[in-house]
A and B are shown apart, each in its own frame.
Chain A
Amino acid sequence: MKIIPLHTSQKSIINRAIQHNREAQKEIFELHSPKMLGVCRQYVKDNHHAEDLMLSGFLKVFTHLHKFKHEGSFEGWIRRVMINTCLSYLRKKNPIKPTDEEYVYHDYATENLESTSVDDIQKLIDGLPEGYKMVFNLFAIEGYKHNEIAEELGITVSTSKSQLFKARKWLQENYRKMNLISKGHE
């Protein structure tokens, strides 16, 4: 049994994909598309729309593949391209109106979501207003810092923080409502 080091194999696939080798491109697509569709789905409410955004993201990935320097994670690089594609789309659709309001941080989130399914969590996120959703996704799921979010969305750091605070409050309230409804049904 021949063992091919993963990074060597990935590098060679990437290099072939840069040379417009369709097989290599398909290989990359099949390997990363399920996760990337999951990322895109966080920003838009239906799978078809998310798939369109994902395809648009992969088109950018293959067009700019020669810019990848093999220094970081390839998946992380693709993920970032996907997030930027989604944010560009949302910003074109609904330009973010920054509100530089002061906020007071209160930790309402004490609930444990271990028993909640991914679909229910996605439904909760889908219900968030667009501005809150972008900041929450970037902060809570992608792990961006407030200054990175501010730079990415073209808003101030305090706006990013206030948007996150409102998103968190909105989610907790709606999570409680959702639990109450489900318990009531039971």
Chain B
Amino acid sequence: MNNFEKSIQGKMQGREIQPSASAWERLSSQLDAQEQKKKRGWFFYIGYAASILLLVSLFFFMNEEGDNETAIPENTIVKDDFKIPETNQPKEIELLPSETDVIVENRNDKLPVKSKSIEPFEEVKTDSRVAFKKENKNKVDKALKKTTIIPLKNEIVIAETTIDVDKNIKSTPKLKRITNSTISVDSDALLYAVTHSKEEIRSYYEKYKVSRSDVLKRIEKELKRSNLKIDPNTILAEVERDVKEESFQNNFYRFIKKRVSDVAVAIANRNN
């Protein structure tokens, strides 16, 4: 550095220029703006972090729920005996132990029947073809008595009455556990029991010299003609359920033919 530069340095290095009066105010406002930006930035980062955390936890929460859902089928127990009965199989009447009503279920109709009194059974309209007979009240009582109710802790075990079509009524002590506290009674068995007894039908056949096997063959023939794939035994059971002495007195086979055509019409209506 020569003299020229040294003399410039000496004059310029310690030089002072007074800033304007508003200089500090301007700087102060700039500092305020910067601090606010910093604070806002901090809050924004916290906000972003919280949002990301929320999304991640939601994602895991949903995944866990999904896993639980998939785990459910592993714990389900499939009961083979919980099948819906076929049309030719006897149906059940559900008795609710907590209530006094008995629900008589046949096809789609449900009618309440009080278990204490036998009177409501007169109101049961299970099918237009099934006529209820007052004289068979005692038989209903018997049928209900056959239905034994065995309480087991909180569950109710009931002996189910089923119908064997060929052998008329047969009580099968088939134990069934009902966890939802309902009592099931076979509706067909009950209806059959309130209309005819095995002996009564047999007496009709003997009295009017009608062979049961012939009747069965006739039904089978009529079913073939009507192009219906129904077990003839089922139809015979239906016929025997509704049959009256007058039917035997008149033309019994015409009565059977009418029953088969009625069934055909009923099936056609149901399909529609």
CB distance from B246 to the nearest CB of A (A): 112
* CA–CA, A163 and B13, complex, Å: 21
Q: A29 in the interface, Cβ–Cβ < 8 Å?
A: yes
Which of these binds chain A: B26-34, B141-149, B170-178, B215-223?
B26-34
A3-46: which residues lie under 8 A (CB-CB) from chain B?
20, 22, 25-26, 29-30, 33-35, 37-38, 41-42
Scan residues 26-61 of chain B and give those whose CB is less than 8 A from a CB of chain A. Answer: 26-28, 30-31, 34-35
Main secondary structure of the interface of A (DSSP, over half): helix
Closest chain B residue to A50, Cβ basis? B17
Chain A 126-165: CB-based contact to B (< 8 A → 1; otherwise 0): 0000000000000111110000000000000000000000
B11 near A55: Cβ-Cβ < 8 Å:
no
Find chain A residues with CB under 8 A from B1 CB. 139-140
Contact A63 B19 (CB under 8 A): no
Give the segment of A85-93, A96-104, A114-122, A178-186 that binds chain B: A114-122
Closest residue of chain B to A40 (Cβ to Cβ) is B17
Number of A-B contacts (CB under 8 A): 96
Cα-based distance from A110 to B28 in the complex (angstroms): 46
Residue B117 at the A interface, CB < 8 A? Answer: no
Report if B179 contacts A (CB, 8 A).
no
- Given A55-B27, A58-B27, A34 contacting B11 (CB threshold 8 A): no
A35, B28: Cα distance in complex, Å: 19
Listed in ascending order, the chain B residues whose CB lies under 8 Å from chain A are 1-5, 7-9, 11-20, 23-24, 26-28, 30-31, 34-35
Chain A residues whose C-beta falls within 8 Å of the C-beta of B27 in the assembled complex: 29, 55, 58-59
Chain B residue, CB-CB nearest to A124:
B8
A1 contacts the other chain (CB 8 A) = no
Among residues of B, the one whose C-beta sits closest to the C-beta of A29 is B24
The answer to whether A62 has its CB under 8 Å from any CB of chain B is yes
Contacts of A33 in B (CB 8 A): 19, 23-24
Given contacts A37-B17, A47-B17, contact A110 B3 (CB under 8 A): yes
Instruction: State A113–B20 Cα separation when bound (angstroms).
Output: 29
Contacts of A47 in B (CB 8 A): 17
Q: Contact: B17 with A112, CB < 8 Å?
A: no
Main secondary structure of the interface of B (DSSP, over half): helix
Contact check, A113 vs B23: say whether CB atoms are below 8 A apart.
no
A140-B19 in contact (CB<8A): no
Classify chain A's interface size. Answer: 35 or more
Quick one: which of A22, A51, A114 contacts B31, CB cutoff 8 A? A22
Asked whether B7 lies within 8 Å of A143 as measured between CB atoms, the reply is: no
Name the B residues within 8 Å of A112 (CB-CB).
Answer: 3, 7
Given contacts A107-B2, A111-B3, A113-B7, 5 further A-B contacts (CB under 8 A): A35-B15, A38-B16, A41-B17, A54-B23, A110-B2
In the complex, are the beta carbons of B16 and A22 less than 8 A apart?
no
4 nearest CB pairs, A to B:
A109-B4, A34-B16, A113-B7, A38-B15
Asked whether B3 lies within 8 Å of A109 as measured between CB atoms, the reply is: yes
- Which one, B5, B12, B17, B30, contacts A109 given CB within 8 A? B5
A84 within 8 A of B: no
